[in-house]
Amino acid sequence: MKINIHIATQQLELLDDAGKLLRRYSISTAANGAGEVCGSYCTPRGKHVIRAKIGAGQPENTVFVRRRPTGEIYTPELGAQFPERDWILTRILWLSGCEPGFNRMGENDTMRRYIYIHGTPDSVQLGAPGSHGCIRMRNADLIELFDLVPAGTVVEIIA
């Protein structure tokens, strides 16, 4: 399997080994656009792999901080209580760059930038850029994708 993320159309595609489209999801990439530099809050381009899958078996809307569940379940009331938080919910697919000097190692290291495919509150708009660099998905879509792909799956992020 392979995942293609299209920044221009704000879509994530899951393909089988023959390249046949299995699923297509609406997503949100970085409000700052595409870019690889640490601190840019951009979505990194190029070839990646899913380094780790985090959150299997957790309830939908589980809140994660530093890749660990906090014990909180996101609600609109919790969101109103902490309006500045960048909510990472439900599951995490942690990406690692595969292209040294472009999205791996040094100031351009996707993994060290903590770039994830993760869930987001239902109130967050998808289909338009808005994240801080990660790829946001609807929680139900993320659970489906999480269950379909193994760690090591190739992820190509295309501007």
Average pLDDT estimate for 11-22 = 97
In a domain, 76, yes or no: yes
Q: At 16, is the pLDDT very low, low, confident or very high (cuts 50, 70, 90)?
A: very high
CB 154 within 8 A of CB 48: yes
Kindly report the CATH number assigned to the domain that includes residue 38.
Answer: 2.40.440
CB 93 within 8 A of CB 149: yes
Q: At 80, is the pLDDT very low, low, confident or very high (cuts 50, 70, 90)?
A: very high
Q: How far is CA 71 from CA 38, 63, 68, 140, in A?
A: 29, 7, 9, 19
In a domain, 64, yes or no: yes
Using one digit for the tens of pLDDT, what is the confidence trace for 85-132? 999 999 999 999 999 999 999 999 999 999 999 999 999 999 999 999
Q: Determine the structural domain holding residue 108 and report its residue range.
A: 28-153
In a domain, 77, yes or no: yes
SS3 147: helix
Q: How many domains does the chain have?
A: 1
Q: How far is CA 29 from CA 35, 97, 100, 118, 137, in A?
A: 11, 16, 22, 11, 9
Q: At 79, is the pLDDT very low, low, confident or very high (cuts 50, 70, 90)?
A: very high
CB 3 within 8 A of CB 95: no
Using one digit for the tens of pLDDT, what is the confidence trace for 60-77? 999 999 999 999 999 999
In a domain, 19, yes or no: no
CB 31 within 8 A of CB 130: yes
